[in-house]
Amino acid sequence: MDTDFARQQMVEQQVRAWEVLDPDVLQVLKDIPREQFVPTGYESLAFADTEIPIGHGQTMMTPTIEGRLLQALRPSSGDRVLEVGTGTGFLTACLARLAKHVTSVDIYEDFLDTASANVEDCGLGDVKLLQMDATQSLPDGFFDVIAVTGSIEKFDPRFVEALAPGGRLFVVVGNGPAMDARIVTRTGDNDWESDSLFETTLAPLVNGVQPPQFSF
């Protein structure tokens, strides 16, 4: 397989066709070698618009959803990013290419070990990986961008509380078969705006199906 050509075709025929037109997002998806982030034996599916099993009942998001997520969040060179759900590290790498610093958390230590090696192989810099259950706690500090890579049954306002003023959150909320992908912007100390982007189905965060204390 000509992986460079296949990657370009993935971006042009799948991601761009799903209304991802941001040139920076399209370029990063062309540049980051997605085939290096899929588990052994799944290389032939690296550029397919399908979820790829990565272990522990988890999957990689499809390229189209990754593109829509990155476009909605608009990470820029000065942003501090929190990613919830590291997986194999592909989205981590994309975020690191676009932003200043990425903190990524995952509940599974072996995912973090794999992601660390994958990100390092790409020569990407300011990335911090932490083992943490984000349904129970989040890293200290405030973030300009938060990407939640698994769905949650009900909206959890702790994610908004971790945003800096003007910060953006991507999250998928609800139960299958139709979940709501949202972009949430913090507009004040106690205020935020939520916009629905599209309907999708996304595997839940570990413990993400447990009802939180607050509803959105």
pLDDT digits (tens, 9 = 90+) for 52-83: 999 999 999 999 999 999 999 999 999 999 99
Give the single-character DSSP code of 209.
Answer: T
CB atoms within 10 A of CB 1: 10
pLDDT digits (tens, 9 = 90+) for 137-181: 999 999 999 999 999 999 999 999 999 999 999 999 998 788 999
Radius of gyration, alpha carbons of the chain? 16
Enter the pTM of the model: 0.93
CATH superfamily ID and name for 3-200? Vaccinia Virus protein VP39 (3.40.50.150)
142 within 8 A of 167, measured Cβ to Cβ: yes
What ranges do the domains of the chain cover?
3-200
DSSP codes of every residue in 95-136: HHHHSSEEEEEES-HHHHHHHHHHHHHTT--SEEEEE--TTT
Judge whether residue 212 has pLDDT over 50: no
